[in-house]
Amino acid sequence: MAKRLVLLVDGGYMRAQARKANPPRVFDAALVTALANRCVDPATEELHRVLYYDCPEYSGTVQLPISRAPHKFAGTDALLRDLAARDHFAVREGSLRFRGWDRKRVPGQAVPAAPPTDADFKPKFVQKGIDMRIGLDIATYAASDRIDRLGLVTADTDLVPALKHARRAGLQVTVYELPGQRLHRDLIEHADIRRVLAWP
């Protein structure tokens, strides 16, 4: 009998790995869907649902770091809306907070002596509420009998207590490594199955 699987996808983690890929991958709903499908073993698993956790792009006006001129971010939630409309997908939204500017660094290159300009900086954003939503969903499924297996696409070791809880409740836990990523041993040790994915 096929195992009923719920797949929990950390969108920020998946996006970061897509950008680091060689060559970088275009991060869109098609890529997310293709990777989610690769997480499912059709011979032994039946996909119940994909829960995708991410934040809408940031919208708001901030001051540039050097000139102090206003700069407007006009973010969109098109990716989230696209995924939410797909079969078996549910979107869990956190929020994205602007946390200032970071100096751009080029590996092997010293910081130039010339006075910095706005172009020398990149915005710093922080996701809020994603870990909590993933943890709550893990606890909810652990307390039900709707599924047999949890799949987790993330590198966040803060979720280890939630994985322990799920396993104690009788669920099997699978963790997935995206190409070029080695998961922390804590995630691997507190899972039942580790699978290595390839880019579509």
pLDDT of 115: 87
**Domains in the chain, number:** 1
At 158, which CATH number?
A: 3.40.50.1010
Q: Is residue 21 part of a domain?
A: yes
Q: Is residue 120 part of a domain?
A: no
Kindly report, residue by residue over 105-150, the tens digit of the pLDDT: 766 666 666 788 999 899 999 999 999 999 999 999 999 988 999 9
Kindly report, residue by residue over 40-82, the tens digit of the pLDDT: 999 999 999 999 999 999 999 999 999 999 999 998 999 999 9
Residue 59 near residue 17, CB atoms below 8 Å: no
Domain that holds residue 192: 3-63+74-96+127-196
DSSP string, 111-172: PPSSPP-GGGEEEEEEEESHHHHHHHHHHHHHTSSS-SEEEEE---GGGHHHHHHHHHTT-E
pLDDT of 175: 97
Output the average pLDDT for the chain. 93
Kindly report, residue by residue over 167-195, the tens digit of the pLDDT: 999 999 999 999 888 999 999 999 999 99
Q: Is residue 121 part of a domain?
A: no
pLDDT of 200: 87
